[in-house]
Amino acid sequence: MNRIYMIGFMGCGKSAVGRRLSFLLKLPFYDMDKEIVRQTGKTIPEIFEEHGEEYFRELETQFLQNFKNDHCIISTGGGVTMRKANQKIMRNTGLVLFLDAPFREIWRRIHRDPNRPIVRQSTREEIEELHKARYRDYKQTAHITIRTEFRTLRQITQYASFQVKRLKGE
């Protein structure tokens, strides 16, 4: 299949860049978190509070296993690479783009956001540890790593588009 997946830590820009890239490449856009909210009728914090993180992880895997559309852009949630099965599905069904943002920038963007339950429950130090712990999985899963520091959303989107076309031989 011919999908484009955006991966990376919370706040690295997956949703924002994914949406812009979908306009640029004229492809439908899906945000996994939004799809899960739509399917369950619950917000992400509600799912975490009522059922726990493991249940949310299961919903992510089910989404990846059951999703049928091809030729589209999918922005994932920052924890999607925690499961090897998810890594495998993504690599086997599309191109995987990792948005690599510096932690201080990530923290600035996410620390006051009430919609990210993991941030709400943790200290800055804990989130920084999580960023470090996940970094290798992002790198290993991605076909392309894009460093976002000092780049605007527009520049990142254009660079992503260029890399996608290059890898597809267009």
Ligand X SMILES: O=C(O)C1=C[C@@H](OP(=O)(O)O)[C@@H](O)[C@H](O)C1
Ligand Y SMILES: Nc1ncnc2c1ncn2[C@@H]1O[C@H](COP(=O)(O)OP(=O)(O)O)[C@@H](O)[C@H]1O
Interface mask toward ligand Y for 61-80; x: CB under 6 A: --------------x--x--
Name the burial class of residue 133, with classes exposed (0-12), middle (13-18) and buried (19+) by CB atoms within 10 angstroms of its CB.
exposed
Name the burial class of residue 40, with classes exposed (0-12), middle (13-18) and buried (19+) by CB atoms within 10 angstroms of its CB.
middle
Using CB under 6 A as the binding rule, whether residue 78 contacts ligand X is answered as yes
Contact 9, 128 (CB under 8 A): no
Q: Site for ligand Y (CB under 6 A): which residue of 10, 119, 146, 160?
A: 10
87 touches, from ligand Y, ligand X, Mg ion, none (C-beta below 5 to 8 Å by class): none
Phi, psi (rounded to 5 degrees) for 98: -100, 120
Using alpha carbons only, what angle is made at residue 103 by residues 97 and 107, rounded to the nearest 5 degrees?
A: 110
Which of the ranges 20-28, 58-66, 146-154, 157-165 carries the binding residues for ligand Y, by CB under 6 A? 146-154
Per-residue b or e along 114-131, where b marks 16 or more CB atoms closer than 10 Å to that residue's CB: eebbbbeeeeeeebeebb
44 touches, from ligand Y, ligand X, Mg ion, none (C-beta below 5 to 8 Å by class): ligand X
Using CB under 6 A as the binding rule, whether residue 4 contacts ligand X is answered as no
Using CB under 6 A as the binding rule, whether residue 102 contacts ligand X is answered as no
Q: Which residues bind ligand Y (CB under 6 A)?
A: 8, 10-16, 75, 78, 109, 148, 151-153, 156
Known binding-site residues for ATP equal: 11-16, 116, 151
